[in-house]
Amino acid sequence: MLRRLAVAAIGLAAIGAAGFWFLTDPALLPPPEIPAEYVADLANGEMMFHAGGCSSCHAAPGAKGEEKKRLVGGLAMKTQFGTFHAPNISPDPNTGIGGWSNADFVAAMTRGVGRDGEHLYPAFPYTSYQRMAVTDLLDLKAYLDTLPAATSEVPDHELGFPFDIRRGLGLWKLVYLDGRPFAPRPMLGEEANRGAYLVEGPGHCAECHSPRDPFGGIDRGRAYSGGPAPEGDGHIPNITPDASGIGDWSASDIAYALKSGFMPDFDSFGGSMVAVQENLAHLSDADLAAIAAYLKSLPAIASTPAPKTAD
């Protein structure tokens, strides 16, 4: 009897292990197809670079001016799962992504799969980048290839068990990565749909401006209502049209703030939003107006917890 139970237990364990291995396969969700022949638009690639705020995470902390285009990595993001270190994404072939093909880049951006077929941690916001058009990704890759190649050694992520087991990210992706590109919503109209694409895709605004569930996924029911700062210190504000967010801002207020850094009360952005605004200021007035139109279309959600105010 005991022998039969032992054999059954071993069999169930083997089945469970095989199921785990299959469900966590990094190639389970293939990346979108890449056009066989495509001529990159570098100007659009540069715009996507700024819309995505690539330098905010991948330039050396504190970099200024042209140094922000040396994407050596190094930003540390402290979370409840451990500390993640942003990698080098310069064209350096040894410590950056200089040897990556277009297919490698698209797979990383849309499926969170590295060049060697490994899962990438979602501190890299591929759950948002998956919404991007393949042509925009190819333009971005072409622009990145024009930037200075820079050698750097970035520390490994500092994660404890079980979060240091990359294979387990396959289960996380089953819940939080759907593989669907952005789809326009007829009720929004052309301008707000353009804003939705920029906010939900390259801008990945929900990644910082939303609370997260215990597994680190965005709480979609409270998206854009504010959340903890990804650097591990502070709180990112609510950007829904609620009174606890930007409810009293007009669309023109939002667009002007993103362009200039000055809010309607004549105060200026602070914290990590400074770098975000500096990047977004490179976008056209039409794109900033589109972002504003989309943010004004969001459902109003009260901040939880309420932002702290000075005594």
**Paired tokens of 71:** 């994407």
Antiparallel, parallel or unpaired: β 82-85 and 158-159 = antiparallel
Residue 4, class by beta-carbon neighbours within 10 Å (0-12 exposed, 13-18 middle, 19+ buried)?
exposed
Question: What is the torsion angle, in degrees rounded to the nearest 10, for the CA atoms of residue 206, residue 210, residue 214 and residue 215?
Answer: 0
d(CA 190, CA 186): 8
Find out whether 71 and 150 touch, Cβ atoms under 8 Å.
Answer: yes
Q: pLDDT tens string for the chain (311 positions)?
A: 555 555 545 544 444 444 444 455 566 667 888 888 899 999 999 999 999 999 989 988 877 888 888 999 988 888 888 899 999 999 999 999 999 999 999 999 999 999 989 999 999 999 999 999 999 999 999 999 999 999 998 888 988 888 888 988 999 999 999 999 999 999 999 999 999 999 999 999 999 999 989 888 999 999 999 887 766 567 888 999 998 888 899 999 999 999 998 888 878 888 778 888 899 999 999 999 999 999 999 999 998 764 454 44
Q: CB 304: neighbour CB atoms within 10 A?
A: 13
Give the Cα separation of 9 and 187 in Å (integer). 54
